[in-house]
Amino acid sequence: MPFEPGSWSIALDQGTDAPRIARDALGAWLADVPEHVRDNALIAVGELVANAVRFGRPPIHVRASVGAEALVVEVSDEGESRPRRRVPTEDGGVGLNLVHLLADRVENETGLTRVRCTFGTTIDRPAGPPDPDHRVALVRQGTTVLVALEGDIDLAARPELDELLATLDPARLERVVIDLRDVTFLDSTGLHMAQRFDRWGRDHDVTVVFTRGIPAVMLALRSTGLADRLTFSDAP
């Protein structure tokens, strides 16, 4: 059944759960939009809302309109700092670059904290909404640590990831495995996490390997070049 043209909007507070709330609400509204268009739009919205949470001012507005040829999504807030692309570092810079890779067109208005993304629409099969929950678990076995991640690894998961990385003792470790198999969504927080764990391993001479995730997770890693820099294993 073809999707119906229309428009949608939501206003969000500046909380760490705002990216997830935006993705869930927009995903439900886009239930009949082609799967790859929907997935790209949800990743982009998560990144833009996360940026608004970190650097903007509430309220955060997300607006979308869909027609026969395009889906247009806009994220704005009341801040005065215009979002801009920059070279990715461990502190940030991945999110907006990822948005530019996923969208067919990105407009960043001068003098406004507003980013508008356009995604071309084609016929495909819609997918269900992403899992809103996340879990971070650590399992030790001798000199190896397994970090098992599950669900949405987004801004809400950052405190747990920061704490986990701070507790790792390189003097007692030879190998760290980051298990991505049960991750359903990965935004810039997850990408930063992967980059930080990889850098931590290199700095402390500890082997850090990642298991391969679902296609959407691997797309995020490939889009930012991390898939070529990280070490992967099929046997965690």
Series of mean pLDDT values for 10-residue runs along the chain (236 residues) = 75 92 94 86 90 89 91 90 57 69 82 85 48 78 91 86 89 92 86 88 93 89 84 80
The answer to whether position 236 is within a domain reads no
Residues 138 and 105 in one domain: no
The answer to whether position 128 is within a domain reads no
* pLDDT value of position 200: 92
Query: In terms of residue numbers, what domain contains 145?
Result: 134-229
Domain boundary residue, one of 120, 142, 160: 120
pTM for this entry: 0.61
Pick from 115, 101, 130: which is nearest to 26 by CA?
A: 130
Residues 115 and 12 in one domain: yes
Q: Rounded distance, CA 53 to CA 40, Å?
A: 20
Residues 116 and 140 in one domain: no
Write 160-168 long-range contacts (CB < 8 A, 24+): 160/136, 161/136, 161/189, 161/193, 164/136, 164/138, 165/193, 165/196, 165/197, 165/200, 168/200
The answer to whether position 193 is within a domain reads yes
The sign of the CA dihedral 229, 101, 211, 176 is positive
What's the total number of domains in the chain?
2
Residues 12 and 106 in one domain: yes
* pLDDT value of position 39: 85
Going by the DSSP 8-state scheme, the letter that residue 125 receives in this structure is: -
* pLDDT value of position 125: 37
* pLDDT value of position 84: 62
Residues 51 and 154 in one domain: no
Residues 111 and 146 in one domain: no
